[in-house]
């Protein structure tokens, strides 16, 4: 089961409707991806780095691509 299906099931079980789940899911996934970037970097990110990560994820880059950009 992928993360979105798991989150959707958990939110449905918590009583959220399809509209709430659909509107929240992209934001939740980006938050999890940003945490993956932080984990890959092995340290806390600066405010500037967090902003960079947020923008890159919103543009559709993958976690490995964002990490590679931060390591340059």
| Domain region containing 59 | 3-71
Q: Domain total for the chain? A: 1
Return the pLDDT at 21: 94
* Contact (Cβ atoms closer than 8 angstroms) between residue 51 and residue 37: no
pLDDT for 12-56, tens place per residue?
999 999 999 999 999 999 999 999 999 999 999 999 999 999 999
Burial state string for 33-54 with b = 16 or more CB within 10 A and e = fewer than 16: bbebbbeeeeeeeeeebeebbb
Q: Is 60 left (phi over 0), alpha (psi -120 to 50) or beta?
A: left
Q: What is the pTM of this model?
A: 0.80
61 DSSP 8-state letter: -
pLDDT at 63 over 90: yes
pLDDT band (50, 70, 90) for residue 1 = low
């Amino acid at each position: 089961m992928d993360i979105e299906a798991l989150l959707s099931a958990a939110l449905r079980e918590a009583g959220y409707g399809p509209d709430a789940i659909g509107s929240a899911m992209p934001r939740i996934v980006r938050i999890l991806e940003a945490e993956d970037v932080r984990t890959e970097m092995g340290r806390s990110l600066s405010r500037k780095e967090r902003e960079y990560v947020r923008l890159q994820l919103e543009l559709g880059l993958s976690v490995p691509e964002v990490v590679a950009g931060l390591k340059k």
